[in-house]
């Protein structure tokens, strides 16, 4: 293959790669939500709302995340993010929720993060973690409509629900739920009493194994010491026997 053909192929590959990046860039640069571990139906999970900055001349200073009214969550606890103030909005439920024998009459409808000494600058992103539960068991996904505000007063509404395979221009963050687990705890959820008891049992079992190993090691060490002592005694006895035989032989000769 000539150098000219190689050069043409390289240029074509570069153009193709650039085209892919240009096409993929806008689709990926929107507010999204991902669980830490799994988000299992009926369980608890920690969610990360990822907010990229799409503008070259402005910084993101505010994020509002609306929680689904058709599947209210009884527990919503945001994690503190340095440089950001957090406001939690709650609303009355039309139908109370039953959670662990308790009746829940209100739920979080919106969480708002406002810059307080920090911003999401151009070319950067920020994650906003939230612990949630219990996740519903009668749906495969949750839609969180989000509103992103820049310091130039521009507002971007990520509120369009995806339909079919095509992604809308301003898609809302969608959380995919996995199948329910036996213990109803998601991969990123806070541990409950059952989990702590399981950890205690595991720690106890490991401790027992450790004790057995130490006992076995001590026993082995003691056995080795005894064997060495007996071996030394045997050698000394053997030397004494040889010496006794030499002396006896000399006496007979004399």
Distance of CA 180 to the CA centre of its chain: 18
Residue 22 has pLDDT above 90, yes or no: no
pLDDT tens per residue, range 190-206? 444 444 344 444 444 44
Residue 147 has pLDDT above 80, yes or no: yes
Of 45-49, 52-56, 250-254, minimum mean pLDDT range: 250-254
Q: With pLDDT > 90 as the criterion, what percentage of the chain qualifies?
A: 51
Q: How far apart are CA 178 and CA 146, in angstroms?
A: 22
E-strand ranges in 42-144 read 45-52, 60-66, 75-78, 84-99, 102-115, 125-133, 141-143
Choose among 164, 107, 93: nearest CA to 135: 107
Q: How far apart are CA 80 and CA 59, in angstroms?
A: 20
- Check: pTM over 0.75? Answer yes or no: no
When comparing pLDDT for 242 and 53, which is higher? Answer: 53
When comparing pLDDT for 191 and 36, which is higher? Answer: 36
Q: With pLDDT > 70 as the criterion, what percentage of the chain qualifies?
A: 61
**Is the separation of the CB atoms in 184 and 43 below 8 Å?**
yes
The secondary structure element, H or E, covering residue 34 is strand 32-35
**Is the separation of the CB atoms in 170 and 156 below 8 Å?**
yes
Side-chain-facing half-sphere of 199: CA atoms under 13 Å: 6
pLDDT tens per residue, range 57-90? 999 999 999 999 999 999 999 999 999 999 999 9
Cβ density class 105-133: b for 16+ within 10 Å, e for less: eebbbbbbbebeeebbeeeeebebebbbb
**Is the separation of the CB atoms in 80 and 219 below 8 Å?**
no
When comparing pLDDT for 240 and 180, which is higher? Answer: 180
Range 129-138 average pLDDT: 95
pLDDT at residue number 8: 53
Secondary structure of residue 218 in the 3-state scheme: helix
Q: How far apart are CA 177 and CA 170, in angstroms?
A: 22
DSSP state of 145: E
pLDDT at residue number 196: 38
Residue 103 has pLDDT above 60, yes or no: yes
Range 12-16 average pLDDT: 42
Both tokens assigned to 63? 């994020």
């Amino acid at each position: 293959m000539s150098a000219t053909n190689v050069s043409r192929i390289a240029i074509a590959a570069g153009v193709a790669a650039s085209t892919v990046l240009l096409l993929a860039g806008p689709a990926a640069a929107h507010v999204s939500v991902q669980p830490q571990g799994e988000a299992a139906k009926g369980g608890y999970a920690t969610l990360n709302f990822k907010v990229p900055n799409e503008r070259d001349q402005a910084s993101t200073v505010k994020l509002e995340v609306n929680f689904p009214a058709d599947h209210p969550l009884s527990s919503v606890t945001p994690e503190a993010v340095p440089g950001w103030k957090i406001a939690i909005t709650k609303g009355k439920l039309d139908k109370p929720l039953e959670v662990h024998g308790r009746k829940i009459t209100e739920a979080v409808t919106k969480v708002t993060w406002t810059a307080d000494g920090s911003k999401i600058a151009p070319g950067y992103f920020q994650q906003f973690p939230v612990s949630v539960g219990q996740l519903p068991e009668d749906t495969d996904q949750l839609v969180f409509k989000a509103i992103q505000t820049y310091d130039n007063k521009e507002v971007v509404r990520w509120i369009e629900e995806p339909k079919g395979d095509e992604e809308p221009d301003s898609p809302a963050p969608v959380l995919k739920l996995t199948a329910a687990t036996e213990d109803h705890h998601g991969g990123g959820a806070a541990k409950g009493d059952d989990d702590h008891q399981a950890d205690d049992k595991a720690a106890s079992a490991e401790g027992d194994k450790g004790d057995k190993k130490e006992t076995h090691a001590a026993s082995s060490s003691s056995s080795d010491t005894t064997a060495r002592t007996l071996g030394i005694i045997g050698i000394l006895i053997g030397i004494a026997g040889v010496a006794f035989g030499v002396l006896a032989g000399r006496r007979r000769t004399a």
